[in-house]
Amino acid sequence: MNKIKVLLVDDHQIITNGIQVMLEKVEEIVWLGSTNDAEDALRLVKLMKPDILITDISMPKLTGIEITKLIKKEKLHTRVLILTMYTFEDFIFNAIQAGANGVLSKQDTTREVLLEAIHVVHQGNDYFSPSVSRQIMHVTAKNMRLQSTPDLAKIPALTLREKEILRLYVEGFTNHEIGEKLCISPRTVETHKNNIMQKFNFKSTVEMVKYALRNNLVLM
């Protein structure tokens, strides 16, 4: 198994210590350490080449969103997970636009959620914690309700299971939560999601959910 190298940047020592305790003994994760300096974080990303950078949004000098933009601009392979207490609409969508691969709320991120996020993002997918997902879905739903009715003949067919899973993604549930509701494993949930994304050629979970809302796929 390829181990996942993780680096953290956060200026709150309690958060840093807590995440270190969560991750440093996980077999498939290599804990590279942490820094409380955003500018130093960018240097460490270039030097240590982490697979995942976990960063807060609000920090001195550079914000987590600015770090994300620089990582994407310089085409570094590191994927970014934003971990923040600020889950307002503007912060979330600014993070997504900057290129963040996931956004987690400090309020509802447990060890289980953090580990799932790291694995999902490392596999090349996007991840949003439950409260962040619901915020995205709420805003997206409002924006999509006035869109035109889809041409059903042009929409690929989904199986009943795929529709069920898609509906739960739209409602903001995580892979783990969907698996529990449907009595299947998170890996099986991810497989069904990948099948949906391949049928429609979606590039991200956000794109999939937006399309589902705009075209009423979960109601069909």
pLDDT digits (tens, 9 = 90+) for 93-143: 888 888 999 999 888 888 888 999 999 999 989 998 877 877 777 666 666
Rounded to 5 degrees, φ, ψ at 172 are: 95, 15
Q: Quick one: which H or E segment has residue 30?
A: strand 29-35
> Model confidence over 83-96: pLDDT tens digits?
888 767 777 888 88
**96-83-120-69 Cα dihedral, nearest 10 degrees:** 40
Rounded to 5 degrees, φ, ψ at 149 are: -70, 135
Give long-range contacts, CB 8 A cutoff, 24+ apart: 87-92.
87/131, 87/132, 87/135, 89/135, 89/139, 91/57, 91/65, 92/132, 92/135, 92/136
Per-residue confidence at 20, pLDDT binned at 50, 70, 90? very high
C-alpha 200/C-alpha 178 separation (Å) is 21
The SS3 assignment for 49 reads coil
More confident residue, 154 or 2: 2
Mean of pLDDT values over 39-56: 92
Q: Among 13-27, 39-53, 147-161, 172-186, which is the least confidently predicted range?
A: 147-161
Instruction: Give the global pTM.
Output: 0.65
DSSP string of 128-139, one letter each residue: E-HHHHHHHHHH
The per-residue pLDDT of the chain, averaged, comes to: 84
What are 193's two structure tokens? 């999601």
Q: Quick one: which H or E segment has residue 34?
A: strand 29-35
- Domains of the chain and CATH, by start: 4-130 (3.40.50.2300), 148-219 (1.10.10.10)
Task: Answer whether 87's CB lies under 8 Å from 132's CB.
Answer: yes
C-alpha 97/C-alpha 142 separation (Å) is 19
